[in-house]
Structure 1
Amino acid sequence: MELPLLLAGPLLRRVDPGLVAVQVVLSEAADVRVRVFEGRVASDTTNPPFATSADAPDPNVAPPHPGEKTLRIGEHLHLGLVTVRLPPASGKVFQPDRLYSYDVTITGAQNRTDLAGLGLLGTHTVSGVEVGPLGYADRMLPSFALPPTELDDLRIAYGSCRRPGYDDGDALAWLDEYLNERFDDPRGRIHQLFLGGDQIYADDVDSIMMLRTAELGVELIGTDGGVPLERVKVGQVLRRPEATEPNRLDPRASYTPETPQQTEAAGDLPAGPPQFPVGDRLRLTQVSAQLTSIDGANHLISLGEFAAAYVMAWSPAAWGEEVPGARLVTPADPTGSALRWLDTPTGDQDVELPPEVFPERVPQHLYSDAATIAQREKDKVEKAAQKFRARRRSHRVHRDFLLGLGRVQRVLANTPTYMMFDDHDVTDDFFLTPMWRRRVQGTALGQVILTNGMLAYALFQDWGNDPRRYDQVTTPERPELGGQLPGDLLEKATKLFPGTTPGPDATTFAELGRMFGHDLDNQPVGDGRFAAVDAPMTWHFTVDGPKHVVVALDNRTRRSYVAEIGPPGNVAPEALVDQIPRPPLPAGREVLVVIAPLQVIGPPVIDEVVAKAIYRIFDLVTAGDLTDPASVTGSRLMPGTNPDSLETWAFDPITFEHLLLRLAEHQRVVVLSGDVHNAASNVMSYWRGDAEQPARIAQFTSSGFKNVMPVYLRALDRSAMLLQELLRAKLGVERLGWTRPDADLVLLPEGRTEADLVATTRARLLRSPVLLATHGWLDDNPEGEEPQERLTSRLNPARPPDWRWRVSPLIDERPDAERPSPIRALPLDDAAIEAQLADPATAFPAMRAVAARHQAALDRMRNTRQMMFRSNFGICRFEQDDDGVVTAVGEVYTSAPDPETQQPVLGPYMVHRASLGPQAEDRPEVLRQDVLSRVPVPEPQP
Structure 2
Amino acid sequence: MQTATSAESQVPAVLAGPILRKTLPDRLCFWLAVRAPASVRLELFPPDAPVQTHELEPHSQELACLKAGEQLCYLMIDLHLETALPKETLVGYRLSLKLSDDPAGAWQDHEAWAEDLCYPGWDTPFLRVPDKVSSVMHGSCRKPHSRCSDGLVAADRLVAGLLTSPDAADRIANTLPELLVLSGDQVYVDDVAGPMLQAIMFLTGALGLPDETFDGPEEGLPNSGTQLRETGGCLYHRDRLLPRIDQKSTVFDVLFGGTNKPVFTSAHARNHLITLGEMLCMYLLVWSPAAWRILPGFTVPESLDDKDRDMYAREQDTLRDFVEGLSGVRRLLAHLPTAMIFDDHDVTDDWNLSLAWEDAAYAHPLSRRVIGNALIAYGINQGWGNRPARIREDLEHLFETALAQPGSGAHEAVIDQILGYEKWDFVWPTDPPLIALDTRTRRWRSERNAHYPSGLLDWEAATDLQTHLKGQDAVLLVSAAPIFGVKLIEVVQKFFTLIGKPLMVDAEYWMAHPGTASAILNIFQHRDTPKHFVILSGDVHYSFVYDVELRNGHSARHRTAPVGPKIWQICSSGIKNKWPDRLIAVLDRGNRLAFSPRSPLNWLTKRRGMRIIPRKPHGTPGGRRILNASGIGVVELDNQGAPTQILQVTADGKSHAFERREAEARLD
TM-score (norm 2): 0.84
Q: Find 2:399's aligned residue among 489, 493, 513.
A: 493
2:131 corresponds to 1:148: yes
Does residue 701 (structure 1) correspond to residue 587 (structure 2)? The answer is no
Partner of 1:157: 137
Residue in 2 that maps onto 1:640: 502
Greater Rg by CA: 1
Contact 2:540 2:573 in 1 (8 A): yes
Show the 5 A alignment for 1:411-450: 411-450=332-371
CA distance in 2 between counterparts of 1:733 and 1:93 reads 57
Other structure's SS at 1:494 match:
helix
Q: 1:804 maps to which residue?
A: 609
Residues 678 and 868, structure 1, Cα contact 8 Å, conserved in 2: yes
User: How far 1:71 moved relative to its partner?
Assistant: 1.4
**CA–CA separation in structure 1 for the residues paired with 2:175 and 2:122:** 23
Structure 1 residues without counterparts, runs of 5 or longer: 41-46, 56-62, 122-132, 223-228, 239-251, 256-262, 327-351, 357-379, 473-485, 518-534, 620-637, 735-757, 759-772, 778-800, 813-818, 824-860, 897-905, 916-921, 925-930, 932-942
The equivalent of 2:424 in structure 1 is: 539
Counterparts in 2 of 1:592 and 1:13: CA distance versus 1, 3 Å = same
Q: How far, CA to CA, are the matches of 1:38 and 1:163 in structure 2?
A: 37
Report if aligned partners of 1:218, 1:230 keep a CA contact under 8 Å in 2: no
Residue 893 of structure 1 aligns with which residue? 649
Q: 1:894 to 1:412 in 2, by over 3 A?
A: same
Q: For 2:641 and 2:441, how far apart are their aligned partners in 1? A: 37
Please tell me whether residue 193 in structure 1 is matched to residue 180 in structure 2: yes
1:590-626 CA distances to partner (integer Å, 9 max, x unpaired)? Answer: 4211111111111233323x4335657xx8xxxxxxx
Instruction: Report the Cα distance in structure 2 between the residues aligned to 1:284 and 1:388, rounded to whole angstroms.
Output: 20
- Aligned position for 1:557: 441
The Cα shift of 1:95 comes to 3.2
Q: Deviations over 1:132-180 (max 9, x none)?
A: x31213661111212234x6xx111100000011101000111011111
Please point out which of 331, 353, 357 is paired with 2:301. Answer: 353
Which of 121, 135, 159 is 1:179 aligned to? 159
CA apart distance, 1:309: 0.6
Cα distance, 1:201 vs structure 2: 0.4
| SS at structure 2 position matched to 1:554 | coil
Whole-Å Cα distance in 2 between the matches of residues 398 and 186 of structure 1?
A: 36
C-alpha deviation, 1:5, in angstroms: 1.5
| Structure number having the greater helix percentage | 2
> 2:211, 2:225 within 8 Å by CA — same for their partners in 1?
no
1:306-361 deviation line (CA, Å, top 9, x unaligned): 111100000011113655541xxxxxxxxxxxxxxxxxxxxxxxxx22537xxxxx
Q: What CA distance in whole angstroms lies between the structure 1 residues aligned with 2:637 and 2:593?
A: 24
Tell which has more relative contact order, 1 or 2 (C-alpha 8 A, sep 6+).
2
Match of 2:67 in 1: 72
For residue 215 of structure 1, what is the aligned residue in structure 2? 202
The residue aligned with 1:96 is 87
- Change in CA separation of 1:866 and 1:685 when aligned onto 2, cut-off 3 Å: same
2: CA distance between counterparts of 1:389 and 1:497? Answer: 36
What is the correspondence of 1:770-785 to structure 2 with a 5 Å cutoff?
775=604
Match of 2:253 in 1: none
Match runs of 1:758-773 below 5 Å: none
Query: Matched residues in 2 for 1:441 and 1:885: separation?
Result: 42
User: Which of 301, 310, 318 matches 2:291?
Assistant: 318
Q: Which amino acid aligns with 1:561?
A: R
Can you list the C-alpha shifts for 1:463-497, whole angstroms capped at 9, x where unaligned? 1112122353xxxxxxxxxxxxx2xx212322335
2:7 is aligned with 1:5: no
* Equivalent residue runs for 1:792-831 within 5 Å: 804-812=609-617, 823=619
Matched residue, 2:530: 666
User: Contact 2:401/2:411 (CA < 8 Å) preserved in 1?
Assistant: no
How far apart are residue 268 of structure 1 and its match? Answer: 8.6
Is 2:464 the partner of 1:612? Answer: no
Deviates more, 1:594-603 or 1:139-148: 139-148
Return closer, same or farther for 1:471/1:865 CA change in 2, 3 Å cut-off.
same
Q: CA deviation at 1:731?
A: 2.7
Q: Which amino acid aligns with 1:495?
A: T
- Whether 2:463 is the aligned partner of 1:601: answer no
Q: Do 2:137 and 2:635's aligned partners in 1 also have CA atoms closer than 8 Å?
A: yes
Q: Does the CA contact (< 8 Å) of 1:34 and 1:82 recur in 2?
A: no
Q: Which residue of 1 aligns with 2:549?
A: 685
Indicate the residue corresponding to 1:830 in structure 2: none
Aligned to 2:637: 878
Q: Could you say if the C-alpha distance between residues 725 and 409 of structure 1 is closer, same or farther in structure 2, counting changes exceeding 3 Å?
A: same
Task: Give distance in 2, aligned partners of 1:733 and 1:660.
Answer: 25
Q: Percent identity?
A: 24
Partners of 1:52 and 1:549 in 2: CA distance: 28
Q: Deviations over 1:669-689 (max 9, x none)?
A: 010000000000112111358
Structure 2 equivalent of residue 120 of structure 1: 114
**Distance in 2 between residues matched to 1:774 and 1:65, nearest whole Å:** 62
Partner of 2:244: 287
> 1:7 is paired with a residue of what secondary structure?
strand
Distance in 1, matches of 2:174 and 2:409, equals: 50
With over 3 angstroms needed to count, the CA separation of the structure-2 counterparts of 1:863 and 1:169, relative to structure 1, is farther
**Letter paired with 1:4:** P
Query: 3-state DSSP class of the match of 2:291?
Result: coil
Q: How many angstroms apart in 2 are the aligned matches of 1:310 and 1:18? A: 29
Q: Which residue of 1 aligns with 2:588?
A: 723
- Residues paired across the two proteins, number: 620
What is the CA–CA distance in structure 1 between the aligned matches of 2:644 and 2:471, rounded to whole Å? 18
What SS does the corresponding residue of 1:84 show, helix, strand or coil? strand
1:367-393 C-alpha deviation (Å, 9 max, x unpaired): xxxxxxxxxxxxx4xxx4x65543332
**Which residue does the alignment assign to 1:575?**
461
Look up the equivalent residue of 1:866 and give its one-letter code.
R
CA contact (8 A) 1:34 1:84 kept: no
Matched AA of 1:172:
L
- The aligned residue for residue 46 of structure 2 is 38
Looking at structure 2, the residues matched to 461 and 278 of structure 1 have their Cα atoms a distance apart, in angstroms, of 27
In 2: Cα distance, 1:776 partner to 1:206 partner:
41
Instruction: Report the Cα distance in structure 2 between the residues aligned to 1:139 and 1:685, rounded to whole angstroms.
Output: 45
Structure 1 residue 567: deviation in Å?
1.0
2:490 is aligned with 1:510: no
Residue by residue over 1:513-544, the C-alpha shift from the partner in whole angstroms, topping out at 9 and shown as x without a partner, is: 22223xxxxxxxxxxxxxxxxx3342100113
CA displacement 1:878-913 (0-9 Å, x = unmatched): 246xxx7944532111144xxxxxxxxx13224245
Counterpart amino acid of residue 894 in structure 1? T
**Helix, strand or coil for the counterpart of 1:287?**
coil
Determine if contact 1:217/1:303 at 8 Å carries over to the other structure: no
Gaps of 5+ in 2: 1-6, 164-168, 246-261, 556-560
Q: Which residue of 1 aligns with 2:249?
A: none
Structure 1 letter corresponding to 2:264:
L
Q: Distance in 2 between matches of 1:204 and 1:116?
A: 33
Partners of 1:210 and 1:53 in 2: CA distance: 38
Corresponding residue number in structure 1 for 2:474: 591
- Partners of 1:170 and 1:186 lie apart in 2 by 26
Q: Whole-Å Cα distance in 1 between the matches of residues 502 and 230 of structure 2?
A: 33
Match of 2:80 in 1: 85
- In 2 relative to 1, CA 733–673 (structure 1 residues): closer, same or farther, beyond 3 Å? farther
Note if contact 2:213-2:224 (Cα within 8 Å) is conserved in structure 1: no
What root-mean-square deviation, in Å, do the aligned CA atoms of Structure 1 and Structure 2 show?
Answer: 3.3
Deviation of 1:106 after TM superposition, in Å, equals 0.9
Residue pair 2:401, 2:414 contacting (<8 A) in 1 also: no
Which deviations, in whole Å up to 9, do the C-alpha atoms of 1:644-697 show, x marking residues without a partner?
A: 431122221321221122134223101000000000011211135878443221
